[in-house]
Structure 1
């Protein structure tokens, strides 16, 4: 194992356990050479590498802002470790995903969040709402919260965990119009934690100034070159990283433009 920038580690998959069919990307449970078990999202999935870029940048940003996210690791994956997988479509996905993929620490016994199932501190809820608005996360809704509660009841007090940020950073799907999205507002109406309350202003005051260019550069540096190479309109992976930093730094600086008008 090696430690990459800002703590993102690389592990090697040694056993493919099972696919998870609840998500459209068909992630898999994988055991690695560090004795850990991870939910791995594969580069060969229909969502592609940009979903993994968003997972790294937004997941690690959430962690730096004090929100609970399972550890993310880079997973060196050889399809040979899944030679016994019986389903052809999964084998095709794994064969297309040789190399570096993204893993998230597996939380045994974790449960999907349902409203009312957990007493959530209003400020924690506001911080999550702020993060999702800042990163344009379109996939934390009442229909798919991408929130987990863990550990299971009867152990320690369960807490909320944030997962699945691949649908964030929607601007990177059309870089030519990314500048127009810097001040774009966010639709809170279907958010899993409900509409923003009075604590959102406090969350903005607490978090926006912490999203500095220096922090964003460290987060972008954790994204492997191979996930950024060949992006149309950019010469090198570092050019793409600079574009992420510039866009997100501007969005943090001008949060009044995309927060609800009654706050600005």
Structure 2
């Protein structure tokens, strides 16, 4: 596929410190390219499904021109972590051998505070549209999952998106559903340009681009014991979900607009 998206692969060389804000125990780590990364482990919490959501959400955001840290595949060697003193972390590292996902560490970034930083209507509408599209439940006042870095707003943590995949039943039905939880979105009050954003983003997200992003998911993350589908069949389900949801975007745009009117 021409201009197919591509992620670099790095080898984790040093575990620096756990980042205990997240329930899945992400960590700050260093890789063989000498950069620092926020490392998300396939052996944690929701396993590879959280990594898939992080990968798809982050790369869709990037395709739409939104600022997200570089995502890389992060390889953990089987010997990694044997000297870790904390048993919980040692177990996590052992269960996460192979390919994990990492985000470039934005050194010096601070958490976004909606009271301190104003967000314009266009940016707010773009982020609300993205989160309604990927069914991201986690961009609220309680946990904004946005950072300010070099005076710019950056999006992080999309691992709670695509919640249909925890049951993997009726993806088309889920794709055509509204997204009621958008009412809790931290930027919803400012998102007054959702129709304009919808038209713009539907033009960008072509079927080829959606397939290219979904094809990034490694086979290693698609060995699901609870589902008798091949990795390619699972990718097809994600592609169908994303294309169907895009075709029916008026449903979640209306839900977001109605929720916004109720707020203001």
TM-score if structure 2 supplies the norm length?
0.91
Q: 1:168 aligns with which of 151, 161, 165?
A: 161
Q: CA deviation digits over 1:155-182, x for unaligned, max 9?
A: xxx1111111011011111222222112
Q: Are positions 1:242 and 2:236 aligned together? A: yes
Residue 126 of structure 1 corresponds to: 125
Q: Are positions 1:212 and 2:211 aligned together? A: no
Residue 110 of structure 1 corresponds to: 109
Shift of 1:23: 0.7
Q: CA deviation digits over 1:28-47, x for unaligned, max 9?
A: 11111111110000011012
Q: 1:179 aligns with which of 172, 184, 188?
A: 172
Shift of 1:196: 5.8
Residue 71 of structure 1 corresponds to: 70
* Mapped contact 1:188–1:196 kept (Cα < 8 A): no
SS of the residue aligned with 1:250?
helix
TM-score if structure 1 supplies the norm length?
0.91
Q: Quick one: structure 1 residues 128 and 148, their matched pair in 2 at CA, closer, same or farther if it must change by over 3 Å?
A: same
Aligned pair count reads 255
SS of the residue aligned with 2:188?
coil
Shift of 1:124: 0.9
Q: CA deviation digits over 1:50-70, x for unaligned, max 9?
A: 000011111000000000000
Q: Quick one: structure 1 residues 80 and 19, their matched pair in 2 at CA, closer, same or farther if it must change by over 3 Å?
A: farther
* Mapped contact 2:7–2:73 kept (Cα < 8 A): yes
- Please list every run of 5 or more consecutive structure 1 residues that lacks an aligned counterpart in the other structure: 152-157
Residue 59 of structure 1 corresponds to: 58
Distance, in Å, in 1 between the alignment partners of 2:255 and 2:156 is: 29
* Mapped contact 2:183–2:256 kept (Cα < 8 A): no
Residue 224 of structure 1 corresponds to: 218
Shift of 1:258: 2.0
Q: Are positions 1:258 and 2:252 aligned together? A: yes
Q: Are positions 1:194 and 2:188 aligned together? A: yes
Shift of 1:240: 0.8
